[in-house]
Amino acid sequence: MSALTRCLQEEAAAISAAAERLKADQVEGALTLLERCAERKAKLVITGVGKSGIVARKIAATFSSIGLMALYLNPLDALHGDLGVVAPDDVCLLLSNSGETSELLEVMPHLKRRGTARIALVGRADSSLARGSDVVLEASVDREVCPLNLAPTASTAVAMAIGDALAAVWMERRGISPADFAVNHPAGSLGKQLTMTVADLMVPVADLKSIAPQTPLPEVISRLTQGAIGCSWVEDRQTPRRLIGLITDGDLRRALRDHGPERWAELNASDLMTADPITVSADLLAVDALERMEHNRRKPISVLPVVDEHDLLSGLLRLHDLVQAGLA
């Protein structure tokens, strides 16, 4: 076993042991305060010093990203005016391994005076910070992973893990959906997966030229060659925008393979087309459309017709467009 593996296993063991130490009533108390915070549209204010401050910032960022307004408050700045951001309905989460961090203890009476609920995430359940809080979450560790047992390692990992677990359970209880999550993640690859729809990427029907079922093979080839779409759609001339088939380069090749050269002059669009192509709606997430392209009952496909509630063509979605958007 490598030294790195050993250290990782020691941290994992510390998190597992902390999970066993946590008392159910205290965890429930913390979650109740967080739920109340959301219901009152209040804030979760998280504070800590040093490495605990870094963990506090991460926990604040996590809660903000899942829909609970959260912020990190530097305790030194709090004592010099920034306490003004803390309201009576807010909840304050205080992180300290020792539970005796002087800067946090100085802030404590001012939080009490405001009536702000306090959750202590500490390494000692009998510490001053714990005694002054409404809820105590014990995050103690037997020793740090650091060979000197000095640098915050296992203790910060445990605190981070408890913060993540609180956020995950809060999400479950609030019924946070992917759509809710997407509200706070509009950018980047994750944002695209959660927000970009077929309508954002499809080629609209106004930019597409249809062909009739009786269109002869030479004209079909000409349309496929001239267009930049890579396919043509076959329209029911009795009902405008009614899709009756789709012809791709692959359909053309297969038709020429299956019909001998002596029959090519007789072929028309209805002989070449896929008569019942898989379709999607414009409001479908683009990443779900990609899934249908790659995993369907037939074979991987490169173009999806987009239809409205009346089964009329709205546009075409190409695999190329999904690749360009960074989704494939």
pLDDT of residue 123: 96
pLDDT at 205 over 80: yes
Q: Across residues 288-302, what is the average pLDDT? A: 83
- Show the domains of the chain with their CATH numbers: 3-176 (3.40.50.10490), 198-324 (3.10.580.10)
pLDDT at 305 over 90: yes
Percent above pLDDT 90 for the chain: 75
d(CA 227, CA 165): 53
Place of tokens 């392209």: 293
d(CA 323, CA 250): 19
Q: Across residues 267-294, what is the average pLDDT? A: 91
User: Helix, strand, or coil here: 205?
Assistant: helix
pLDDT of residue 226: 80
d(CA 104, CA 83): 12
Give kind and range of the element (H or E) at residue 111. Answer: helix 102-114
pLDDT at 26 over 80: yes
End-to-end C-alpha distance for the chain, whole angstroms? 38
pLDDT of residue 187: 72
pLDDT of residue 250: 86
pTM above 0.85, yes or no: no
pLDDT at 160 over 80: yes
Q: Residue 248: CB partners within 8 Å, gap ≥ 6?
A: 230, 231, 274, 301, 302, 303
Q: Residue 7: CB partners within 8 Å, gap ≥ 6?
A: 145, 153
The CA-based dihedral angle spanning residues 289, 290, 296, 300, taken in that order and rounded to the nearest 10 degrees: 140
Tokens representing residue 118 in the block: 């306090």
pLDDT of residue 325: 87
List, edge to edge, every strand of the sheet that includes 303-307: 203-204, 313-318, 303-307
Helix orientation angle between 217-226 and 249-258, rounded to the nearest 10 degrees: 150
Q: Across residues 105-113, what is the average pLDDT? A: 96
pLDDT of residue 240: 92
Q: Are 281 and 303 in contact (CB under 8 A)?
A: no
Q: Across residues 37-54, what is the average pLDDT? A: 96
